[in-house]
Every structure is written in structure tokens, then in C-alpha cells.
Structure 1
Amino acid sequence: MIISLTYIYYIAGIFVALIALLAMNDKGNSKRILTGAFWGIYAVSFLFGTVIQPMHVGIMVIVMAVIAGFGGVGMGKHEEATGEQRIAQSQKLGNWLFMPALLIPIITVFGTLGLKDVKLAGLDLFDKANLTLVSLGVACVVALLAAIMLTKEKGMQPVKESRRLIDAIGWAAVLPQMLATLGALFAAAGVGQVVSDLVSAAIPVDNRFLVVFAYTVGMALFTMVMGNAFAAFPVMTAGVGLPLIVKLHGGDPAVLSAIGMFSGYCGTLMTPMAANYNIVPAALLDLPDKNGVIKAQVPTALMLLTVNVFLMYFLVF
């Protein structure tokens, strides 16, 4: 293959490493050394994850957790454009401002569906095993280049702007990756089997509706506990989805996966554990109630979850 997921990781690692260097050189940040170390360790996981021993990666994650847990990730000092400058720039660019953001889903879908069988010099253009992720990575790079050309920014400005956003989000920016990994660990440890045994003991598994209800609602509840649907998915799917819906009742695994993840996202809307989605926006907007975002989302989440239960029931079989 010509473009593999490893190359996407390298690009991400280089980008985060630059952010780490900028953070470490920011004398306006009283915690610049620890902040730089946090993002530097994160960059190393992308750049050398394929050669570092799993135990050593685990130690790196623990060090990151200790740094974040003791408040070592601080907000840096940034040069920001004034409100007048931002308004002038937005009026100058108009709707073209949306173009880089729109390029990401467009190129991702095109790469996933249109380039899966494309070859150059006898080699696959994209890594078929991770086609969607590679397409997404390529889309992000193209969108970044498009944004640079559109705004005519030069030098390190794109990285500086990325660092400003990373500083605003803080350590919560790494939560999706960490929680997804935790979900995989839970699945490998057999938590899915425990969940399966509990569900089998609690409901009559020959009842299709109750099994579907247990899976969809369980996805939402487990996501609320874990803070991420990617962490809940392997556990709930291994414990309930595959053995009870697919194997026992002959359900369609594609439908199961799609609606199951959507059900998990309903849980994401209702939990403070999804800090990067629900707590960080409240902080960025200076909301008086830190749980204000969650409270506003709960009615929508519950309605969507109810719809998902019936969608799963009528479509998966």
C-alpha cells in the first residue's frame, strides 16, 4: 500500500510534537515544562507507537494521567486577533470559510467509497484494513492545506492556532483515544461475557424486543459511565449484540453496529464523563452552570434513544 494508517500517525505525531515545543517555550505559562512534557509524551505515542513495548506505552499513559491529575497542563499565552480583525477577515472570505471544514467529510466519503480499489504501480493507494481512518487523515491534511491557501497564513501560524485550541480544551483532548483503548481492554478482560451473563439472567433472551432494548439502552448507559461510545461498543457488542441479537436471533451485524453506536452517542450527550463534549464547551462559553450543556441535551438524547430502540427492532432482523 502507498498510504497507510502509520503515515497518518506520523503526521499527527509531528503536529503534536510541534505543539509540545511551543508549549515548552511559552514563558507566559507557569506550567510550561509539564504542559510540554504532557503533549510531548502524547506525540511520542503517535511517532513510535509501533516500536515501543506495550508496557512502556502504559507507563507513558500513567505519567500523562499523573501530570493532568495534579493540574500540570496549563493554559499558555497566545497572540489573538482582535474582534474587529476577525470580523474583517470573515467578511472578506465570506462563505469560503466553511470550505476547509466541508472538505473533511467530502474527501473522507470519497476516499472510503471511491478509492478503495485504486492502485498505483501495482500497489493499493490506501490501506484497505483502515480505509476510513486513512481517508479521514488524508482529508484533514487536504483541509489544512486548503485553509492555509485560503487565509494566506504562513509559517507556524496553523500550529499556533491548533495549540490555542488544544490549550482551551486541555487534557480532555486525549480522552476519546484513551477511553476507546480502555473499552478494548475491558473487552479483552472478559467484561463483555460478564455483561452477557447479567443480561441473560435479568431478561428472557428469547424476547427480541427486550434483547434489543437491553443492547441499545445498555450502550447509552455504559457510554455514560465510560464517557465515550467507542469504549462502550466493544463491551456491549461482545456481551449482548453479537451473542444475543446476531447469533441467537439472526440480526444484521451492520445494522447492529450503526444503530448501536448511535445509541451510545445518546449517552454521550448526558454525561459529564464526556468532558471534551459537555464540560469543555461550558467552560469555553463561561456558562454559570457547568452542567448546562448536558441539561440542554438530555431531552433530545432521550427522544433519540427511544427512536433507536424501535429502529433497531424493526431494521436489525
Structure 2
Amino acid sequence: MMFQQQYLMWLAGIILLIVAVFSWRDPANPRRLTTGLFWALYGMIFLISDGVYQWMTPRTLHIAVGVAVVVMALIAGFGGVRLGRYHQRSDEEKQASAKRLGNQLFIPALAIPVVTVVGVLAFNNLPGLQQAVFGAGNHSTLITLFSMMMGCLIGWLVALKMTREKPMQSMQETRRLLDAVGWAFILPQILATLGLLFTSAGVGNAISHLTEQYLAVDNRFIAVAVYAIGMALLTMVMGNAFAAFPIVTAGIGIPILVLQHHGNPAVMAAIGMFSGYCGTLMTPMAANFNIVPARLLELPDRNAVIKAQVPTGLMLLVVNIFLLWFMMFL
């Protein structure tokens, strides 16, 4: 039986459902019913597979998922996701454990990227291994996801061994982190979907028309600057470079930089995404990156992270413009 990407979705869904059950059973959470419902609805979306179409039409399924997302938005909007009690150690026990482990605490976290890189290299350089696990065909994305999953699993087992905690306590910590992040946890997925909707609606074509009509994109440097700055600005509006990328690339990158100026599409895509990340550093819409850390660190200014990152974001954006200009037309 070959490994499929759907298995990863099911794993995520099962974890979210366990979090929902723990939330419902937590009397310390003042909104335990709505908190559990929020994570249960999110988990159910991950559990959907092609088998659902045997007893439900695609249109009915899409409506059901849409209703679930609307309910989640209402729960989040009315403050339905709250913190509870997570059976954590006392401060004294935490300090004693930290002192005992020292820098070994970094080992589980470092195991994730190390195992991911080793897995990707192994699958790409041992064709027989790739076919044995995934079957015939191109599985580049699945290889990365599978390797990262194995890294997370190994890091989790190492952490349990080092801390001498029970596996269920790791689920409590998962719930604690999810409750702390709250609605912002699903924001990247929602914004990426929004980007696809904008692309299907022809927003990219509208941007292309406005750019060609009102900007001097016949000049290579101006065209490059418009693309990079457009990526950063739209990312700031949408909160996610993945959501902005298909829109700006369809409107400016492909028709102007690639087709009109004959630029290298690979360079355009790589540095274009990097330009979008510059916008991520400077927007509250990227709540999971910029607002949540301020909340977790209990900073008095919720925009403190953004203010610290703005100079870096602007400098990187200028560097990206010149990188595109020099490298895209070699």
C-alpha cells in the first residue's frame, strides 16, 4: 500500500479532533463548547476524502464546508476560542527540568529539519526507495511533506524520552498552543484560498491592464520594481505571499516580465516570493507571524514585532528589486 498525501490530511484531522475532545472535557475553559466545536469543524475538513462523493454531491460538499467555515468565523469573531487548563508542570518543576536538560532541549527541534533534509536527499537519490514508498510518478511535494512528518515524529519521540512525559501531555501542549494562537492558526490556509479565488475572478488580468495602461512597464527596471513592490503590497493586504503570488504573477510577472521582456521565470518566481515575504514582515494581516508572537510574549504593544521588522522588510525589498533586475535577464 503506497503512501498518499491524504494520509497526512487525516493525521492532521485526527489531532484536531483529539484537541476538540480535550477542550470539551476542560471545565476550566469558560468557552469549552465553542472552543471544541471550532477545532472539531476544522479537523473534519481535513478528514474529507474522495470517498465522500459516494454519498454526497460535490456541490453539497462545497456548501457544507462553506457553512463550517462560516460557523468557525462566527465562533472566532465572538471570542469563542479561549484558554483552559493544560495539566502543566509547576514553575519550579519547569525550571528544574530546564536546568537538567540544558541545551539538549534544542535536539527535538533540530531533529525536524535534519530528518527532513536527509529524507528528501534519500528519496531523490535512491529511485528505488521513492517508488517503494510512493509508487511510480513524480512525488516531489509528497516527498517533502513525508520527510517533514517523519522529522516531527522523531522529534516528538525524542522529546518524550528526554522530558519523561506521557504522550497525552504532548496533546495537551498542542491544545495549549492552538488555543493561544486561536483563529490566526487557520489564517494562512484561508488567505491562500482567497488568492485562488481572486485569480479565478480575473483580478490578475485587471492588474495587468492597469499596469500596462498607467505605468511605463516598457522599461525593464520599472517593470521589475512594479512586480516586486506589487508582491509586497498585495501580501500586506492579504497577509500571505502565497495568496498574492498567483495574482501578481498572472498580472505582471508572466505577461510583462517573462513574455514582454523575456525574463527567466524561475528567477522571477523565487525572488518574487521573497519580495512577498518582505510584505509579510510589515503587516498585521500576517497575524500568525506578527500578532500572535506579541500576544504569546505578552508585549504591551501588539504591533511591536511589526515595528521591529519594518526596516528589515524595506531593505530586503530594495535588494530584491536589484536582484531581479540583474539576474532575471542574464
Query: TM-score w.r.t. structure 1 length?
Result: 0.93
1:25 maps to: 25
2:236 aligned with 1:185, yes or no?
Answer: no
Alignment of 1:110-259 (within 5 A): 110-116=118-124, 118-120=127-129, 123-125=132-134, 127-259=139-271
1:2 maps to: 2
1:283 maps to: 295
Query: What's the CA shift string for 1:46-73, capped at 9, x where partnerless?
Result: 1115437223222211111111111111
* Residue identity in the other structure for 2:112: I
1:269 maps to: 281
Shift of 1:30: 1.5
Q: What is the Cα-based RMSD across aligned positions, in Å?
A: 2.0
Shift of 1:122: 5.1
Shift of 1:129: 4.9
Query: What's the CA shift string for 1:238-278, capped at 9, x where partnerless?
Result: 11112211222222222222211111111111111111111
CA distance in 2, matches of 1:250, 1:124: 40
* Residue identity in the other structure for 1:79: H
CA distance in 1, matches of 2:16, 2:241: 24
* Residue identity in the other structure for 2:83: M
Whether contact under 8 Å (2:281, 2:309) holds in the other structure is yes
Secondary structure at 2:291's aligned position in 1?
A: helix
Instruction: Judge which range, 134-143 or 184-193, deviates more.
Output: 134-143
CA distance in 2, matches of 1:193, 1:68: 34
* Residue identity in the other structure for 1:13: G
Query: TM-score w.r.t. structure 2 length?
Result: 0.90
CA distance in 2, matches of 1:112, 1:120: 11
CA distance in 2, matches of 1:69, 1:49: 29
CA distance in 1, matches of 2:184, 2:324: 32
Instruction: Judge which range, 127-136 or 37-46, deviates more.
Output: 127-136
CA distance in 1, matches of 2:302, 2:228: 28
2:44 maps to: 44
CA distance in 2, matches of 1:281, 1:208: 39
2:58 maps to: none
CA distance in 1, matches of 2:113, 2:131: 28
- The number of equivalent residue pairs is 317
Unmatched 5+ stretches in structure 1 = none
CA distance in 1, matches of 2:121, 2:266: 16
Q: 1:96 aligns with which of 91, 99, 104?
A: 104
Secondary structure at 1:230's aligned position in 2?
A: helix
CA distance in 1, matches of 2:149, 2:201: 30
Instruction: Judge which range, 284-293 or 158-167, deviates more.
Output: 284-293
CA distance in 2, matches of 1:315, 1:297: 26
Whether contact under 8 Å (1:118, 1:124) holds in the other structure is no
Shift of 1:173: 0.8
Instruction: Identify if the C-alpha distance between structure 1 residues 96 and 125 changes in structure 2 by more than 3 Å, giving closer, same or farther.
Output: farther
Whether contact under 8 Å (2:160, 2:167) holds in the other structure is no
Q: 2:321 aligns with which of 302, 309, 315?
A: 309
